[in-house]
Amino acid sequence: AQSVSQHNHHVILSEAASLELGCNYSYGGTVNLFWYVQYPGQHLQLLLKYFSGDPLVKGIKGFEAEFIKSKFSFNLRKPSVQWSDTAEYFCAVNANNAGNMLTFGGGTRLMVKP
Partner 1 sequence: GAVVSQHPSRVICKSGTSVKIECRSLDFQATTMFWYRQFPKQSLMLMATSNEGSKATYEQGVEKDKFLINHASLTLSTLTVTSAHPEDSSFYICSARQSYEQYFGPGTRLTVT
Q: Which residues bind partner 1 (CB under 8 A)?
A: 32, 36, 42-46, 49, 51, 90, 94, 99-107, 109
For partner 1, the closer of residues 68 and 101 by Cβ is: 101
Nearest to 84 by CA among 21, 23, 16, 8: 16
For partner 1, the closer of residues 16 and 51 by Cβ is: 51
Would you tell me how many other CB atoms lie within 10 Å of the CB of residue 8? 16
The torsion angle over the Cα atoms of residues 10, 106, 89 and 22, rounded to 10 degrees, is 70
In whole angstroms, how close is the CB of 23 to partner 1 at the nearest point?
12
For partner 1, the closer of residues 49 and 77 by Cβ is: 49
Nearest to 108 by CA among 23, 15, 18: 23
In whole angstroms, how close is the CB of 101 to partner 1 at the nearest point?
6
Half-sphere exposure of 112 (CA within 13 A, CB side): 18
In whole angstroms, how close is the CB of 99 to partner 1 at the nearest point?
7
Would you tell me how many other CB atoms lie within 10 Å of the CB of residue 3? 11
For partner 1, the closer of residues 75 and 94 by Cβ is: 94
In whole angstroms, how close is the CB of 16 to partner 1 at the nearest point?
27
